[in-house]
Every structure is written in structure tokens, then in C-alpha cells.
Structure 1
Amino acid sequence: MRIVIALGGNALLRRGEPPTAANQRRNVRIAAAALAPIACRHDLVISHGNGPQVGLLALQGAACRPDEPYPLDILDAETEGMIGYLIEQELGNLLPDRRCATLLTQIEVDPNDPAFGHPDKPIGPVYSEIEAQKVAQERGWSIARDGAHFRRVVPSPRPQRIFELSVIELLVSQGVVVICAGGGGIPVVSREDGSLIGVEAVIDKDLASALLARELKADTLMLLTDVDAVYRDWGTPHARAIRRITPQALRELDFAPGSMGPKVRAACEFVEQTGGMAGIGQLSDALVILDGKAGTVIVMDAA
């Protein structure tokens, strides 16, 4: 089978955990152990989130040159390389006979996407309300509530086209585990002469992964995070895990736009357009989600 797995930012760095190199390597090592059995049996493409990491790099850049911050497209590229390196190395250590490659991935977005006028993608560390007000004033950032805390939010335009798709396809056809579209890929737009230029945004990695899975004609899309399943009535005493459901039924439920919402939307789009299977659940359950015995499985013929 051909499988695309998207690792959520919270699967690579736990909530509230300092984004140190040691913490990230430890978490990536855990992720690699969960993915290795799948890589042994299937064609595997891995994507990942970058919210904490791109936010950290933005803070570092602002501290160095506050009057000349690095644009988000360059920071997206840096996080693709950094996280991809860790995944590639740790997975390679477990599977020395399996070739792995990290590929920086440019993804086209529409310069007229309404998201540019309504930033809602959380990145970076969490702040208290007072801290959030301070950094918003000092740096001119948009800030929004993220659970009990606040985070910086940036535009998140919808992914349209993956420029390195043919290279990814070539590598997968040769048995290479490919790590690509990290952090949703590097957002770029086409200029009038056909050349590309990066834009100030962070693409949602779940929507980018769904596009990647569709274009690669994958059999399965797995969106792995730190929650064991999709829940009805999340955060209430009536919360109940959804184990198997059709995309049509799943779309009728409400989910938080900043957390489970994009995963549900991405999973539904993949299943509806390909007839394949999508799974949402926690990283440690990756293999049993694939077997339909854990997480939430979205398929067209669910009871």
C-alpha cells in the first residue's frame, strides 16, 4: 500500500514542552519507532507540522534583527530541513536497509486567498493574556486565543499545487521513504512571468498532506497527533470517541477550527475524492489505526 502520514506538531513536541533540540530529538525518536513497522511493509511518505518550531525561529530572528525579520516562507524552509533531518536520521537508524530522503517542498497558494486578510494559524509558544498583549504591541503580530492561552496567528492559505510532486513520485517508486511538505510546505505564488516567490504564510499541514496523498494516489492518509481519536462533544461530560464514520456524517459535526477542524476537513476531502481510507489518532497507535482497530477511521462505506 501507499501511505501518507502527517505528524502533528504536538506529536513532535508535547504541549507546554520547551522546544529544545534534545526534546525534539527525543520525540522524533519515539515517532520513528511508531512509523518503522509501517515503513517496513508499505510505501511511506511522511509530512509533519512546524507550528512551535517556526514560531521559535521567528522569535530568534526578531531578537537578532527586530527591524529586519526573516519572512515566514524562509522560516518554513528552515523548519522543513531541521525536522526532516531528525526524522530521516532516527528512522534510518532503525531501518538501516531502507533509504530515506528529505525534500524541501514548494506549494503554490492563491495570492488572493481570503486567509491573507484573516490570520488564524497558531504558531510559536503560548502566552498569558498579558504577555500576548505585550508581544502583539511590540512586534505588530496578530494574537488569538488557543485553548486556555494565547498564540501568534498568521495567514494560512489553502494549498493548490505541489511543485516537487514528480520528484516525490520518482523517489517513492524507487522504494525511498520520503519526508516532504513539512509544515504544510513552503508557500509560494506564481508571478506574471511564471517565476515563483515566497509569501508570508504557513500552510496547514493537514490540508497539504491531503493534497499530497490525493496527487500521489495514496491508498491511506493518516493524521497523527496527541489525541487518540475524533470525539463528539469534545470537552464535555458527554464526549464520545468516533471509531468509524463516513465523511458525509463527519462533516455534520462541529470541530474547533484551530485543532481538529482542519484534520477532519482534510480526511473527508481525501476519502471523498479517492475512495481511500483516512485515519485520525495518536502517534503510538499508528499501526493499529492502519488496521482499523484504533483512532477514528473515515471511509465511504462505514456503518
Structure 2
Amino acid sequence: MGARLARRAAASGCPCCARDTAAFPRARRAAAAHRNQHTRVASDRRSILLCRDPPHSEERTVDSKVAVVAIGGNSLIRDKTHQDLPSQIATVEETCRHIADMIAAGWSMVITHGNGPQVGFALRRNELAAHEVPMTPIDVIGAETQGAIGYMIARALDNELKVRGIARPVAPVITQVRVDRNDPAFRNPTKGIGGFMSKEKALEFAREGWTVREDAGRGWRRMIASPIPLEIIEQDAIRALLEAGFIVVAVGGGGIPVVRDEAGLLKGTIAVIDKDRASSLLASALKAELFLISTAVEKVALNYNKHEQRWLDRLTLSEARRYLAEGHFLAGSMGPKIEAIIAYLEANPRGKALITKPEAIQSALAGQTGTWVTAEA
């Protein structure tokens, strides 16, 4: 009966029916009812099958085998000598091969990513072309880089899945993230953006209203606020795509920072949001089973780069809090990642978090490497 239903679904031309009937053979009545919802629309001499709703959504909960995978900067740009676009694409393709291993193992997921260097490139293009074209505000630059990187990830992952014979659609989502317009971070910008510059150039930016700060030994840099993320505006859309079987790319660069004005309307703001914090917020909202942070190291370490360095296989939530308070995880490196995991586990105690490098994801999921963090031992 199940095989016959799958053949009928495939013959109907609906990829949703065909995929879901194969994945959920027990949901016969739901799939049969779904087939009755098809509407044929004639357009350009073709007959297009439109599905109103994905079948048997009651059997496909978002918190079942769902991961939020936050890929770090090394998953987009390998190093300073490989920053050109072809090199970025090659690095993304390599990362997507490791992510495809998870999908092949049955995971659904949202992939999040950073955009720091890409924002820096866009700012530099702004400066070079300022005499000819209008400047682009930082929130729009965030949207532009989300679109570009989302496209690269979606294309690379779609191609990799096709080569493997896996029929899973990939959808990038431009994502806004709401912050508090009264967040203290706006009064003390601490996040550097763009390239380093001379003091003279920094003073020019200061006259334009930018906060600038000297970084010892490297020059001056523009600083921007990094407020706490409070709400992912497109959260329901991301959830709906997951439930429909899509792999989603979202919350790029921590999301486009927006605030609500007095009328409750959204407005872009000059800020950047930490990618791992925003990814944690999404993983908590989706009640994801796994929050995976991909970074440049295979495991988390205590006393990193010191003589007494010790790699960690496992951490409990209480240990993570204690080691963070003791200063083992520095701001700007492992600190924000541990903070993001703490927030995720506090909101979702049944979840698990994993930190490892992209090429070690498969072996880490098998328990052979990586650092696992759980609420309890």
C-alpha cells in the first residue's frame, strides 16, 4: 500500500507528496487528502501543480532531528590570501560537503553564517565609489551580504545534494533581527568593522559621526554597536520552510539589525549582531535538538595556547559558566560561542551543543571528537 501511494504521489507531479510519502509511509490518509488539494493552473501552455499545504504536518515537528549549524568565517574565507570570490566559492563548496553528510544522515537544519569580511569589502567599495554613487547604509549592506553568501551556500549545497541523489530543496532567507533601540551597546560601540586606517583617515570618519578607536599595533578602525538580539522577525517563515522539508540558510551575519519605533514599525539601525548569539536565539526558538558551531579548531580548550592547555571532550552547562567566568574563553574568539551555547541550553535544557571544525563534523557527531556541551553530565 505504501509503495503504491508513493508511486501515485510521484505520478501526480508534486515533489512534496512524493518526498513526504516516501519518508512517512504510515501517513497514507494524510497524503491521500493532500493529493485532493492540488489545483491545476494553465500558464504558458504548461500545467503547474500547486500545493496549498505540506502533508501530515502533525507528524513533522520542528524539534525532531533539527540542527542549527552556525558556520564560522573559516567556512567562507580560508585565509587572507584566499579572499577573492572564486576562493570564497571553493571554500563554501568544501564546507557544504561536510554539511551534506549531516543531511544524508537524516538531519534537517538551518545554516547560519558570518559576514564580517564581506561587510568590510562592501564598506571599502562604498568609499571608493562615493564620488559617483550614493553610500549604502550598514543595514542594507547586511542584507546584500546575506543575499550573496546565502546564494553561494544554497547553490553549493544544492549541487552537492544533487550529486548524492538527495532530494532536499535549499532556501536562503533574508533575515531581520530585532534589537532594543535603548540597548547600552549603542552608547558604547565596541565592534570593529571595515579595514584598519591611519589616524588622519580615522579623524575624517569621526567628523562624519563614526566612533573610531585605535587597535595597538594595527591602526585605527571604525567601531559599531553590537546589541543583544531579541527577536528573529522571519522565525515563523523559517519554521514553515523546515516543516515543508527545506534546508534553510538564515540569520546571515547575525541578521539585519532592526528596531521598533514608537508606532511599532520596523526600522534599520546602525549595528552588527553577533552571529553566534543570533544563531542561539534561533536554535532556542525552534527547540532544535542540536546547536552546532563550526569554527577553526576541533575542540574547545582551557588555557588555550598556553603550556598547560587542555582540550575538552565534554562540558556541562555549569562548567561552561564557571570556565567562562574564570576567563578561559576570550572575548572575540571562543567567549561569544560559549555564551551563545549557555543561552541555548538555558532555554532548551534537553538540547545538545557541539563545537568543532567543518571537516570534523561527521566524526564529532559519531562521538569521536569535538566538544559537546549539555545541561547535565
The answer, yes or no, to whether TM exceeds 0.5 is yes
Report the equivalent of 2:361.
Answer: 286
Question: Cα RMSD (Å) of the superposition?
Answer: 1.9
Are 1:21 and 2:85 matched, yes or no? yes
Q: CA deviation at 1:137?
A: 2.8
- The whole-number CA distance in structure 1 between the counterparts of 2:71 and 2:201 is 29
Are 1:115 and 2:185 matched, yes or no? yes
Q: How does 1:37-56 map to 2 (within 5 A)?
A: 37-40=101-104, 41-56=106-121
Match of 1:103 among 164, 173, 177: 173
Report the equivalent of 1:189.
Answer: 259
Q: CA deviation at 1:225?
A: 1.1
- The whole-number CA distance in structure 1 between the counterparts of 2:172 and 2:336 is 24
Q: CA deviation at 1:159?
A: 0.5
Q: State the TM-score, normalized to the length of structure 2.
A: 0.75
Report the equivalent of 1:64.
Answer: 129
Identity %: 38
Q: Secondary structure at the match of 1:252?
A: helix
- The whole-number CA distance in structure 1 between the counterparts of 2:261 and 2:245 is 35
Q: CA deviation at 1:73?
A: 0.6
Are 1:35 and 2:99 matched, yes or no? yes
- The whole-number CA distance in structure 2 between the counterparts of 1:226 and 1:199 is 30
Report the equivalent of 1:178.
Answer: 248
Q: Cα–Cα, structure 1 residues 25 and 222, in superposed 2: closer, same or farther, change >3 Å?
A: same
Q: Deviations over 1:38-87 (max 9, x none)?
A: 12211111000011111110111122117953211111101100000000
- The whole-number CA distance in structure 2 between the counterparts of 1:2 and 1:220 is 7
- The whole-number CA distance in structure 2 between the counterparts of 1:143 and 1:198 is 24
CA contact (8 A) 2:317 2:376 kept: no
Are 1:6 and 2:70 matched, yes or no? yes
- The whole-number CA distance in structure 2 between the counterparts of 1:203 and 1:11 is 19
Gaps of 5+ in 1: none
Q: Secondary structure at the match of 1:101?
A: strand
Report the equivalent of 1:93.
Answer: 159
Report the equivalent of 1:77.
Answer: 143
Q: Greater shift after overlay, 105-114 or 250-259? A: 250-259
Q: CA deviation at 1:293?
A: 2.3
- The whole-number CA distance in structure 1 between the counterparts of 2:158 and 2:80 is 28
- The whole-number CA distance in structure 1 between the counterparts of 2:244 and 2:174 is 18
Q: Which has the higher contact order (CA 8 A, sep 6+)?
A: 1
Q: Cα–Cα, structure 1 residues 223 and 135, in superposed 2: closer, same or farther, change >3 Å?
A: farther
CA contact (8 A) 2:178 2:258 kept: yes
Q: CA deviation at 1:280?
A: 1.1
- The whole-number CA distance in structure 1 between the counterparts of 2:76 and 2:231 is 26
Q: Greater shift after overlay, 91-100 or 81-90? A: 91-100
- The whole-number CA distance in structure 2 between the counterparts of 1:87 and 1:180 is 11
- The whole-number CA distance in structure 2 between the counterparts of 1:270 and 1:98 is 27
Q: Secondary structure at the match of 2:189?
A: coil
Q: Secondary structure at the match of 2:332?
A: coil
- The whole-number CA distance in structure 1 between the counterparts of 2:313 and 2:226 is 29
Q: CA deviation at 1:289?
A: 2.4
Q: Deviations over 1:85-123 (max 9, x none)?
A: 000000000112210000001110001111112222233
Gaps of 5+ in 2: 1-64
Report the equivalent of 1:227.
Answer: 297
Q: CA deviation at 1:185?
A: 0.5
Q: CA deviation at 1:202?
A: 0.8
